């Protein structure tokens, strides 16, 4: 019996080791598939324009140079668009945290009259919207067209984030609220001194969703911001990449050579722009990683 048990244990150990090796190899392959596109863009951004246009760069840079990044750093309009994006991202994230918390907490108070009605009322616009034309007319009538508020205010309220925060608050022990009431605390004190300190995970999730969404947003800027001085980074990139097209049939031989050089540099510049505009978002995740995994599971645990 002892020998049979030992043989069975060895078989289980060998099977577990084989499974671990398979998992490690599988995760390694997934990591390579996931990270290689970003690595590819990076090595293309630091390679020579000739190597980039010949598509001969695969594993390492060829003709290492940083001229494309030098051009980016000298572009005043790029930095202005960068500043606009930072303003929109910070302002909308702060406001969306405020509206999500203040809107979610009352929906968890058991004594609130019409609480189910308000929850149902919020769910309707979450799935059904008025569309672009009514939104444009509303922004125009409010006098927000052509101003920063046309981007910040519509993004400062998100029903999904509010429902997410409400779900997290509902999962907190009701005894916390009751004990605070017995000590004479009001709803504001309960919210800010009891609920918020233990809600860092869900607030991190809301923050990262808001930051990434606003950083990558460009459509609202195209609709509501005719002035290029107020447009965000993504809108600037879209405009630059479109303006880089050149009709070679209308140029003479000398101009064609110059245009081809600019086109080669422009191709490499696209990769440099991708890296330059993506780095802030990549560096944002480590600050929220501690709370993100826990908070992102809130919606799957309790509806």
Q: Give the Cα-Cα-Cα angle 225, 226, 227 (nearest 5 degrees).
A: 90
Please give the residue range of the domain that contains residue 163: 69-301
What is the distance between the alpha carbons of residues 15 and 23, in angstroms, rounded to a whole number? Answer: 12
Give the distance between the most distant pair of CA atoms in the chain: 91
Model pLDDT for residues 119-151, shown as the tens digit of each residue? 788 888 777 777 788 888 888 888 889 889 999
Model pLDDT for residues 5-38, shown as the tens digit of each residue? 555 555 556 667 777 888 889 988 988 888 888 8
Helix (H/G/I), strand (E/B), else coil: 231: coil
Q: What is the mean pLDDT of the chain?
A: 77
- 57 lies in a domain? no
Same domain, 210 and 147: yes
Same domain, 156 and 234: yes
Asked if pLDDT for residue 64 goes beyond 60, the answer is yes
How buried is 213 (Cβ within 10 angstroms: 0-12 exposed, 13-18 middle, 19+ buried)?
middle
Please report, for the domain that includes residue 218, its CATH number: 1.10.3720.10
- 254 lies in a domain? yes
What is the distance between the alpha carbons of residues 109 and 51, in angstroms, rounded to a whole number? Answer: 63
Cβ-contact 176, 55 below 8 angstroms: no
Same domain, 151 and 279: yes
- 144 lies in a domain? yes
> Can you give the pLDDT at residue 243?
56
> Can you give the pLDDT at residue 158?
85
- 62 lies in a domain? no
Same domain, 88 and 40: no
pTM, to two decimals: 0.75
Cβ-contact 148, 230 below 8 angstroms: yes
- 14 lies in a domain? yes
> Can you give the pLDDT at residue 273?
78
| Tally of domains within the chain | 2
Helix (H/G/I), strand (E/B), else coil: 146: coil
- 280 lies in a domain? yes
HSE-up of residue 145 (Cα within 13 Å, Cβ side): 11
> Can you give the pLDDT at residue 302?
44
* Residue 173: band (very low, low, confident or very high) from pLDDT cuts 50, 70, 90: confident
Same domain, 147 and 34: no
Same domain, 79 and 38: no
Same domain, 18 and 85: no
- Of the candidates 209, 187, 188, which has an alpha carbon nearest to the alpha carbon of residue 295? 209
What is the distance between the alpha carbons of residues 209 and 205, in angstroms, rounded to a whole number? Answer: 6
Cβ-contact 107, 115 below 8 angstroms: yes
> Can you give the pLDDT at residue 90?
92
How buried is 25 (Cβ within 10 angstroms: 0-12 exposed, 13-18 middle, 19+ buried)?
exposed
What is the distance between the alpha carbons of residues 5 and 15, in angstroms, rounded to a whole number? Answer: 15
Per cent of the chain over pLDDT 90 is: 6
How buried is 4 (Cβ within 10 angstroms: 0-12 exposed, 13-18 middle, 19+ buried)?
exposed
- 61 lies in a domain? no
Same domain, 80 and 113: yes
Same domain, 163 and 27: no
Asked if pLDDT for residue 115 goes beyond 60, the answer is yes
- Of the candidates 95, 207, 206, 78, which has an alpha carbon nearest to the alpha carbon of residue 148? 95
- Of the candidates 130, 108, 111, which has an alpha carbon nearest to the alpha carbon of residue 119? 108
**Contacts of residue 241, Cβ cutoff 8 Å, sequence gap at least 6:** 270, 273
Same domain, 82 and 222: yes
- 51 lies in a domain? no
Same domain, 275 and 214: yes
Cα torsion through 140, 146, 152, 157, rounded to 10: 10
109 — phi, psi (to 5°)? -80, 120
HSE-up of residue 43 (Cα within 13 Å, Cβ side): 14
Model pLDDT for residues 240-276, shown as the tens digit of each residue? 666 554 343 443 444 444 444 555 566 677 777 778 7
Same domain, 79 and 179: yes
DSSP element (H, E) containing 196: none
């Amino acid at each position: 019996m002892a020998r049979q048990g030992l043989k069975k244990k060895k078989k289980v150990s060998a099977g577990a080791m084989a499974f671990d090796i398979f998992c490690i190899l599988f995760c390694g392959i997934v990591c390579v598939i996931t990270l290689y596109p970003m690595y590819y863009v990076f090595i293309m951004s630091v390679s020579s324009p000739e190597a980039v246009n010949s598509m001969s760069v695969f594993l390492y840079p060829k003709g290492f140079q940083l001229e494309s990044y030098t051009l980016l750093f000298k572009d005043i309009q790029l930095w202005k668009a960068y500043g606009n994006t930072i303003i929109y991202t910070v302002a909308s994230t702060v406001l969306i945290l405020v509206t999500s918390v203040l809107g979610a907490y009352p929906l968890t108070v058991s004594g609130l009259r019409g609480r189910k009605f308000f929850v149902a009322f919020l769910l309707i616009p979450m799935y059904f919207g008025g569309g672009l034309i009514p939104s444009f007319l509303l922004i125009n009538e409010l006098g927000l067209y052509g101003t920063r508020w046309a981007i910040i205010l519509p993004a400062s309220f998100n029903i999904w984030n509010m429902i997410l925060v409400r779900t997290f608050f509902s999962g907190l022990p009701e005894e916390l609220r009751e004990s605070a009431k017995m000590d004479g605390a009001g709803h504001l004190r309960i919210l800010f001194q009891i609920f918020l300190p233990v809600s860092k995970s869900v607030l991190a999730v809301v923050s990262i969703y808001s930051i990434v969404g606003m950083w990558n947003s460009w459509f609202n800027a195209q609709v509501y911001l005719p002035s290029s001085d107020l447009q965000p980074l993504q809108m600037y990139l879209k405009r630059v990449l479109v303006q880089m097209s050149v009709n070679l049939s209308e140029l003479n031989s000398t101009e064609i050579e110059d245009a081809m050089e600019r086109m080669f540099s422009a191709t490499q510049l696209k990769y440099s722009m991708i890296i330059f505009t993506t780095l802030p978002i990549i560096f944002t995740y480590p600050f929220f990683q501690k709370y993100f995994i826990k908070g992102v599971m809130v919606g799957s645990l309790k509806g």
